[in-house]
Amino acid sequence: MGLLVECPRCGQSYARVFFAPEKAPVCRCGDILTLEGDTPQFVDRDVIVREENRISELVRAAERLAFLIVATDCPRIDVEIERAALRRRCKVLFPDKMELYEMVYDSRFARLWQQFRED
């Protein structure tokens, strides 16, 4: 399945994701477009926005924790409390991505602590 649909009459190309699933796609020239092959995967904009918001929340919290490690004299116990809170939040936002969280963020925080805090 291609990402573009081309009008057979005028040759105008359209991205499949812009077609509303509830009605047949129509070209600017007025011709009804046929979607050959698989049914296109329509993207719900609200779903994308919610996903981006969840990602942004996690990134902001991780950056805040990295800042606490690198640029403050916050005690280790407070950093570990924040780290546990971030882990719990990630489990709520992305329960199926905890392995990825551990690979990316846990190792990052350990590396930052070792690099900036250990004597």
Q: According to the model, what pLDDT value does residue 67 have? A: 97
Q: According to the model, what pLDDT value does residue 38 have? A: 44
Q: According to the model, what pLDDT value does residue 28 have? A: 82
pTM (predicted TM-score): 0.63
| Rg of the chain taking only CA atoms, in angstroms | 23
